[in-house]
Structure 1
Amino acid sequence: MTKQHLDCAAAAADAGLTPPRLEELSQIARATANLGGSVLMQHYGQLVSIQQKARAGDLVTNADLAAEKAVLSGLGEATPEISVLAEESGAKGDVSELCWCVDPLDGTTNFAHGYPFFATSVGLLWRGLPILGAVAVPFLQEVFWCCPGTGAFLDDQRIQVSGCSSLEDSLLVTGFAYDRRERSDNNYAEFCRLTHKTRGVRRGGAAAVDLAYVAAGRLDGYWERGLSPWDITAGAALVVIAGGEVSDYRAKNYDVSSGRILATGPGLHTDLQKELEDIEPLAEGLYAN
């Protein structure tokens, strides 16, 4: 099987971004993600508005909206020439080329319940391929950021993916999409099987943080489906630049619009990909209402 995993440096080169420009953009991503995180902490524990979107369990709060406004203002001031795709306000400009992908509050359900696993994610995307980004986890006062040619960092400390090469020694993480109640393709079967074959599978509830933790070697691998570009752009870049591998479930050409992601250290990717390929969904009657 030919590997066709994400290559952030190649995407940056295709976009015509020079090393000095990449450094500048990575610092903008870091600053605006940190700004969004600061806004979230101003609202943490004192929400005045929680609303449900079209899908059950998909929430938006006044904190999401305030954080997005602050991030978009910062990006607009620093890089008015770059388009933006944001979770709450949608697309501004031509997002098929170079654009910022913004999730002002990844882990809204966690945030709304006072569970402190949430983040602001700001990533740079080129034709569906992540280049760089930053994930601010404000309750823990941590900012993960990366830049091709420079590296991946937690604040000012360089990070790298784990060297784990055995599923039985691994700690994984996944998540369950909002449409999990309507489809058999919902990660339930994968979660059960991989819980038996590994040291454990966690469910954090914030894709950007899950990916940042894989990049930092705190977790060995992550897979999920039903995701949007703003969920994974910054985190996918973090994993790759920290020495890991990112693909879809079948190691085909990676594009964030697929909604699927498999992210691991290099020693685990093939084995986890094969496991995911072999797992059949649970029978629908096992989890029907």
Structure 2
Amino acid sequence: MALSANMNVMIKAARAAGRSLVKDFREVENLQVSSKGPGDFVSRADRRSEEIIREILVEARPNYGFLGEEGGEIEGKDPTRRWIVDPLDGTTNFLHGMPHWAVSIALEYKGQIIAGVVHDPAKDELFFAEKGEGSWMNQSRLRVSGRTRMIESVFATGLPFGGRGDLPATVRELARLLPATAGVRRWGAASLDLAYVAAGRFDGYWERGLNAWDVAAGLLIVREAGGFAEPIRPTRDIVEDGEIVCSNEPIFTQFAKVIRGE
């Protein structure tokens, strides 16, 4: 398939960061780890991954802005374009030796996500999409699942960890949803949850309390694979406010109503 120059740069950066992370993952017990807060850890590998990504992206597009989880925001000379980067989504999985984590890179243009990459180095799976060009995993075109019944569907979410105050709301959502489904999974990497919805592995996903870098790339990948996505509260914004409910078209209305308590 023909990829844009921006997409080629994004894939190059994601793969380079992935190679660095894999090396550290093999020696995860020796990583130097510091704590940013309860249940939220940052590692030397995480910071190095962002440095690699930033170096490649800035060299290719020096005028674009940059928003990264570790380094914060850098305003670009071009105010209309911004990279949104999670150098290691699933840090807790990574630090516990669980091979379910990813690099996420999105490109925003005038407030809209126009390209996204989610790279899972441990499984050698690269999910990517450009607006209007469909979604892909490696060389395969992606499409959301075709399931039409909630009771046959598997959903994903994130569960609040230490220090977060949204546990009661999540418990209520699970109580409403679980009896109507084939199951709910909590795998600990929002970008991969979204990529798995796009690939039809999960039938839907919802979560609150996310950051822009958690969802920006995956959101486009889901939509370009034919998925529906909205903020949980319709007046909010998915990327800016960090909340999302998404699935395939046949079950979206019912799924969203259950999550919203309607």
TM-score, normalising length: structure 1 = 0.84
Q: Which residue of 2 aligns with 1:114?
A: 97
Q: Which residue of 2 aligns with 1:16?
A: none
Residue in structure 2 matching 1:151, options 122, 134, 145: 134
Quick check: 33-42 or 219-228, which moved more? 33-42
Q: Does 1:191 align with 2:191?
A: no
Aligned positions of 1:108-257 closer than 5 A: 108-178=91-161, 181-252=164-235, 254-257=237-240
Residue 181 of structure 1: CA displacement?
Answer: 4.4
Could you tell me which amino acid in structure 1 is paired with residue 47 of structure 2? L
- What is the alpha-carbon root mean square deviation over aligned residues? 2.0
Residue in structure 1 matching 2:56, options 74, 77, 94: 74
Q: Which residue of 2 aligns with 1:61?
A: 43
Q: Is the 8 A contact 1:84 1:101 kept in 2?
A: yes
Q: Does 1:90 align with 2:72?
A: yes
Which stretches in structure 1 are left out of the alignment for 5+ residues?
1-19, 280-289
Q: Greater relative contact order: 1 or 2 (C-alpha under 8 angstroms, separation 6 or more)?
A: 1
Cα separation, 1, equivalents of 2:224 and 2:100: 23
Could you tell me which amino acid in structure 2 is paired with residue 249 of structure 1? I
Q: What are the Cα deviations for residues 47-88 of structure 1, in whole angstroms up to 9, with x where unaligned? A: 4211111x3101100110111111111101111111010000
Residue aligned with 1:188, SS? helix
Quick check: 155-164 or 26-35, which moved more? 26-35
TM-aligned CA distance change 1:40 to 1:236, over 3 Å: same
TM-aligned CA distance change 1:178 to 1:99, over 3 Å: farther
Q: Is the 8 A contact 2:194 2:221 kept in 1?
A: yes
Residue aligned with 1:187, SS? helix
TM-aligned CA distance change 1:96 to 1:57, over 3 Å: farther
Cα separation, 2, equivalents of 1:33 and 1:151: 19
Which stretches in structure 2 are left out of the alignment for 5+ residues?
none
Seq. identity, %:
37
TM-aligned CA distance change 1:136 to 1:229, over 3 Å: same
